[in-house]
Chain A
């Protein structure tokens, strides 16, 4: 028997396979729909080539077969983690994606943490002050943040904090001549990430604020909070353990649902702040019409979202015991 957590992860990964497959079909259709193929793009980059070279390459890359044949070839290459060559970066797509991944993971992870914790905090405050001034200001603020395009907010932050105040570096993921020791380098990266994370985090924070506010208004009126009061517990304890904690569940669910949207949002934010991540890679691919590269990024993004969702479900099970019911029922009750 596998440990329950591991078998849960495996089950979820298996569940993700059809999703990846459907996305692969979609991506394949898009690639097919484009005028010209990878060979044309490759030859264009080389500065032209004769017809026999093109035919050779087509045969080598499986592009001379029927549609079904090409699709099967495409699937096989995906399974073997070969996503083709990128003209834009001049190398393998997989490699390009892997080099760009850490920056995006860092940006997304930090933004998720920032937006969720701030949203939970402010949403909780709004719920406690429901109907009052604070609530009104926070709710309106959330509505406005929700309507602001992230790339625009990023530009405004750059104007204010970089151009006018000079507090933060303009762009990039680290200073070129920055410190080399690990601590200094981490701080340097963190310094560069403050504005992009604030930008991405603030635009997604609004959603969590609204969710948390709604959930906590409900838990606040629950019988169990009244019962906790009846036990004479101090108010701060009631708020933390009996109101906020159960109200976290919808927020965590939404974290998973939002992972894909946030990855999309990071495309624009990464280009605004010149962060060398998946997003700016996607932008590069699009601006150079590098189809294999953009296809690879879409697939990688899908896998990333599936993984984030598994992580979210695992943490969900930690917060909401009802999720792990099946597992615990054998032990207790």
Chain B
């Protein structure tokens, strides 16, 4: 309601054309110059394409350093000064990558909202959470005083914050992690964006709270018709909430397919590895350690992007000389795209039995139809 309604106000989103995808990314590249001018540059994102429609959830999955955050920051125009970006990012058909910074700032908030991993850190500690949201309403929608506060409370209520009038006067440190993340989501929604980028929004939260916050995000997609890009380490989370999953490896997309099909029959060996490591909701499992446990040799250099051949080859059980010489292109595979010369050939990761995974957390909070657990379909 509040959030969706104002999306048409101002900025490049004014002339939203229904024939355009909500978000269309072509050949996006992000290069980090090394900060102290000593190390080599990092090609964090190495040419990825994405298309999002309204009301859709796309999950970006991949281990640490695969370029997920770099992708989101590039979409939002928030890359640090030592990064350079190329390609095109179209929001409702308008290329926003080429916009000057002021116009770009207008797109942020109004066109694209962002939710970060650390819900405490993303709220300014010395301001009440209400005034944080009031501020967005003032800047983007011109609402002031009581009108702004009423809208703020409505947004908080929409995001599942109980007793919003009182909570609006609280400071971030007075709220629990889950409530803080709800506030951050409300602030991201306040200007009525078309697309929400969520970078590991639940990683820092307790397992039960994780499920609730994911539930909220998915509900917003359904109700407001926004497009949601959800970054996560955790394939199980992705499978639970996303329509489509894009697996990133070393700055490229290794596989992008509808969630259920990808979980049932992964096309890329790396997806197989991720699935083998996937345990539902393991919030503390940072840095892809799940994989490391089972596949110590996977610890090898990952970000070898830009070289010749398949970047997964050093860790891949199916790798051939051909793989090492020629990088596989993204090609159609069972409802989606996979970048592997031997797509679909690997059924299980060697040495790991089929993951009979029991969810560690009651999933009642997640809408049943959105849940597609690894192993359930098998």
A and B interact: yes
Contacts from A to B (Cβ < 8 Å): 222-235, 237, 241-242, 245-246, 249, 319-322, 325, 328-329, 331-333
Type the 1/0 row for B105-136, where 1 means its CB is closer than 8 Å to any CB of A.
Answer: 11111101110101001111111100000011
Partner of A322, one of B109, B114, B169, B171: B171
Residue of B nearest to A232 (CB): B109
Q: B167–A332 contact, CB under 8 A?
A: yes
Q: How far is the CA of A224 from the CA of B126 in the complex (A)?
A: 11
A-B contact pairs, 30 of them (CB 8 A): A223-B118, A224-B122, A224-B123, A224-B124, A224-B125, A227-B114, A230-B76, A230-B108, A230-B112, A231-B113, A231-B187, A231-B190, A232-B105, A232-B108, A232-B136, A232-B139, A233-B135, A233-B136, A237-B135, A237-B139, A319-B126, A322-B173, A325-B173, A328-B170, A329-B174, A332-B166, A332-B167, A332-B170, A332-B174, A333-B174
Q: B191–A232 contact, CB under 8 A?
A: yes
Q: B139–A233 contact, CB under 8 A?
A: yes
Q: B170–A230 contact, CB under 8 A?
A: no
Q: How far is the CA of A240 from the CA of B191 in the complex (A)?
A: 21
Q: How far is the CA of A325 from the CA of B173 in the complex (A)?
A: 9
Given contact pairs A226-B116, A232-B139, A242 touches B124 in the complex (Cβ within 8 A): yes
Given contact pairs A226-B116, A232-B140, A322-B171, A241 touches B127 in the complex (Cβ within 8 A): yes
Q: A228–B124 contact, CB under 8 A?
A: yes
Q: How far is the CA of A56 from the CA of B186 in the complex (A)?
A: 81
Residue of A nearest to B121 (CB): A223
Chain A residues positioned under 8 Å from B139 (CB to CB) = 231-234, 237
Type the 1/0 row for B175-204, where 1 means its CB is closer than 8 Å to any CB of A.
Answer: 100000000100110110000000000000
B78 within 8 A of A: yes
Q: How far is the CA of A78 from the CA of B173 in the complex (A)?
A: 44
A55 to B: closest C-beta gap in Å: 64
Contacts from B to A (Cβ < 8 Å): 76, 78, 105-110, 112-114, 116, 118, 121-128, 135-136, 139-140, 166-167, 169-171, 173-175, 184, 187-188, 190-191
Chain B residues positioned under 8 Å from A231 (CB to CB) = 108-109, 113, 135-136, 139, 187-188, 190-191
Given A225-B124, A226-B116, 15 other A-B residues pairs in contact with their CB atoms under 8 A: A224-B121, A224-B122, A224-B125, A227-B114, A227-B116, A227-B123, A229-B78, A230-B76, A230-B112, A231-B135, A234-B105, A245-B126, A332-B166, A333-B167, A333-B170
Q: How far is the CA of A232 from the CA of B13 in the complex (A)?
A: 14
Residue of A nearest to B123 (CB): A224
Residue of B nearest to A222 (CB): B121
A210 to B: closest C-beta gap in Å: 21
A333 to B: closest C-beta gap in Å: 4
Chain A residues positioned under 8 Å from B76 (CB to CB) = 230
Q: How far is the CA of A51 from the CA of B108 in the complex (A)?
A: 89
Q: A230–B109 contact, CB under 8 A?
A: yes
Q: A333–B175 contact, CB under 8 A?
A: yes
Q: A321–B171 contact, CB under 8 A?
A: yes
Give the 10 A-B CB pairs with smallest separation, nearest first. A232-B109, A223-B121, A232-B108, A227-B122, A230-B114, A333-B174, A321-B171, A332-B170, A224-B124, A231-B109
Q: How far is the CA of A189 from the CA of B139 in the complex (A)?
A: 44
Q: How far is the CA of A224 from the CA of B172 in the complex (A)?
A: 11
Chain B residues positioned under 8 Å from A234 (CB to CB) = 105, 139
Residue of A nearest to B171 (CB): A321
Q: How far is the CA of A325 from the CA of B125 in the complex (A)?
A: 12
Q: A223–B116 contact, CB under 8 A?
A: yes
Partner of B125, one of A233, A246, A328, A331: A246
B89 to A: closest C-beta gap in Å: 15
Q: How far is the CA of A249 from the CA of B136 in the complex (A)?
A: 25
Q: How far is the CA of A230 from the CA of B121 in the complex (A)?
A: 14
Chain B residues positioned under 8 Å from A249 (CB to CB) = 126
Residue of A nearest to B163 (CB): A332
Q: B124–A241 contact, CB under 8 A?
A: yes
Residue of A nearest to B190 (CB): A231
Q: How far is the CA of A232 from the CA of B107 in the complex (A)?
A: 7
Q: How far is the CA of A241 from the CA of B128 in the complex (A)?
A: 12
Given contact pairs A223-B116, A223-B121, A232 touches B110 in the complex (Cβ within 8 A): yes
Chain A residues positioned under 8 Å from B173 (CB to CB) = 321-322, 325
Q: Which of A237, A241, A321 has the most CB of B within 10 A?
A: A321
A91 to B: closest C-beta gap in Å: 49
Q: How far is the CA of A235 from the CA of B78 in the complex (A)?
A: 13
Residue of B nearest to A224 (CB): B124
Chain A residues positioned under 8 Å from B140 (CB to CB) = 232
Residue of B nearest to A248 (CB): B126
A253 to B: closest C-beta gap in Å: 14
Q: B174–A328 contact, CB under 8 A?
A: yes
Residue of A nearest to B108 (CB): A232
Q: How far is the CA of A249 from the CA of B116 in the complex (A)?
A: 25
Q: B108–A229 contact, CB under 8 A?
A: yes
Residue of A nearest to B133 (CB): A231
Chain B residues positioned under 8 Å from A328 (CB to CB) = 170-171, 174
Q: Which of B123, B126, B135, B171 has the most CB of A within 10 A?
A: B126
B22 to A: closest C-beta gap in Å: 17
Chain B residues positioned under 8 Å from A233 (CB to CB) = 105, 109, 135-136, 139
Residue of A nearest to B118 (CB): A223
Chain A residues positioned under 8 Å from B107 (CB to CB) = 232
Q: How far is the CA of A124 from the CA of B107 in the complex (A)?
A: 28
Q: How far is the CA of A319 from the CA of B127 in the complex (A)?
A: 9
Q: B78–A241 contact, CB under 8 A?
A: no
Given contact pairs A246-B126, A332-B169, A227 touches B184 in the complex (Cβ within 8 A): yes
Chain B residues positioned under 8 Å from A241 (CB to CB) = 124, 127, 135
Q: How far is the CA of A245 from the CA of B188 in the complex (A)?
A: 22
Chain A residues positioned under 8 Å from B128 (CB to CB) = 321
Chain A residues positioned under 8 Å from B171 (CB to CB) = 321-322, 328
